[in-house]
Structure 1
């Protein structure tokens, strides 16, 4: 599932590719991916200029000159491609937004959605999210206050979008590895120094992953060499049975609340 770095990468690249352009056509191949009738979606979206793209947690908000917002959540398996019929991947698309010669293809949008909303409704849909972990005003003290002393496993706490926004399966494991702490630990077992290290690791891992285009390897457009650049940098995620880059121990996999979880059994205490 795309997480904060993947969605921020999409935001930056799509801003370069599409902002300022007008939606010239909209094709809906899966009606459940939108929140209106096909006719209403096309009537309100087509002919409107894309003015900006913002990100909140794992969501993208496409602001239109009409005043409406397209709220996107890709969910599990969702991704995008910006290009033409000649170079797009041979995959089923659920929604297509055309911007003249370029089309933005929404792929794997079977659990995710693209909703056309007034701005206030889009904001209301995001109201329950926790703070952005990379925000300048999000301090170490605030981070510790959100987690210290709470029940449950560390992994579960880090991916709780009400506590902190944008972290999912991959980066929760990478953050715990960077901090040298097992994601299987309970929050109450951790000392304040552990939380301080987790805060620093969160900022460090998410910043590097964003700069390298996230871990999802499917390019956003022809010639895109940035997207997916962090995949080869992952230290534990999806590396079960392989040696730890830090200590040579073995990366193990377990499940926490039904989510696959990876860590080094030797150097993560």
Structure 2
């Protein structure tokens, strides 16, 4: 008999209602039976199609409702053999997340997105989840989120470190003319200031103000407060601007500067 997507969707709806992903309570034995029944239905279509997408949406909603609290308390951190100590947000990082909800949202969204891929590949297709294994589908998925959070948090820190290293503190560094020229050389400073003015003229607000304030030594937090935006937004604007400026310098200037 051909697989009916409508039956698969109904199976996911029953599972959501029964297991508590959308409400309700079950004993451990009943939850295990409901999980097993759903996996058997989803396996018929190779864990893809409308029913599996609905199942993924339910898993994502379940995790997104819990991960922010787990991140704040450190409950999301796990120790991985051979990978060093657990990755926990520092007090400074938690403060940044409190000030800018976009940071926490990005971390949770990307963690869940990566966990869904891992869960399907290993737990479903790879058969690593088993009804008798002790973990429900939702508990198993939260475990996948914990694994992926480690990677996401490490990537977030690496990005901050790169941006910190590449953030200019002088006009020479900002314009990229300090290479091979003694720091403080008058000619270098004049050229650098001219290049910075040309770069600022290319920008529109609020990017122009963000760049100008950065040159004046203001922190991204102060810039964000002044402009009524987030530090993450300021960081993104500066990062995109630096890349464009670097490409223009590599190409010898834009089309208006070519002779």
* TM-score (norm: length of structure 2): 0.24
* TM-score (norm: length of structure 1): 0.23
Which is higher, the Rg of structure 1 or of structure 2?
2
- Relative to its length, the structure with more helix (as a share) is 2
- Relative to its length, the structure with more strand (as a share) is 1
